[in-house]
Structure 1
């Protein structure tokens, strides 16, 4: 999962002097066994169980160019057998809405082929501060992607747990 965005450009004379507004978006992966949360990989917990899920680290301001500012990678060959669902989320830790963020997106990429499997444009996406992006489920031993793209509200993954629960 890749997440990218740029700081919001301020307007007016003072805005140009002060520079862009920092906006802190965060990517999270919530691992489940059935409806039970097994683990969460996010900016304060960068490596999951047995190294199967890894977060690239926290970007508190977004980037000033192309490319993902935060990324979460999943090695399915190292995943615990009890984990049967992974839900990916994005939230605005600073409380900025997606109407306030510039050039924001989140995407799922197959690392082995480079193919983009799902992409959501977050900029101009409304007055919400989070999104339940997608779910990957283990069904009969194979992993399957379900794109969700549901707007939500919350500054942390904990705030999003009730919205996530509806998709399990």
Structure 2
């Protein structure tokens, strides 16, 4: 005897509506706040760094490196590597990557706001909002057992792509324009 999955294809996609909606609202709220808030022009808590920009660059680079660990460990968890990496590596690298991103996002929103005068900075601002929106959607979709099988790889891939874009439009730009400054 075979068992039949009685879930309708639309049921699986329906469970994603709320996580995707909340993620979109997070991205929108960050963008609106960043645009409506009058930037202060100064940062808080740059201990150990010469200024806010190097702090943001190095913390973003740390998040970027941990995001690579996320991709490798996710591939391992999905059986794509032939090597087993403990799931705890995936969980903790994600937690640390997210924790490193918080002071950067705080500084960007509080001190600089959503900027659009320079194309690189506009793309960076959009990617920052998108990153937190898609990350929120991924975290909310994570416990949904009825979600389609593509959910976590797609949302995780979008989160990774957004972080790569953030790194390219900030840290990589800084390293090539200014140099390796702490």
Classify the TM-score, shorter chain. Answer: under 0.3
Q: Over alpha carbons, which structure has the higher Rg?
A: 2
Q: TM-score, normalised by structure 2?
A: 0.23
Q: TM-score, normalised by structure 1?
A: 0.24
Q: Which has the higher strand share?
A: 1
Q: Which has the higher helix share?
A: 2
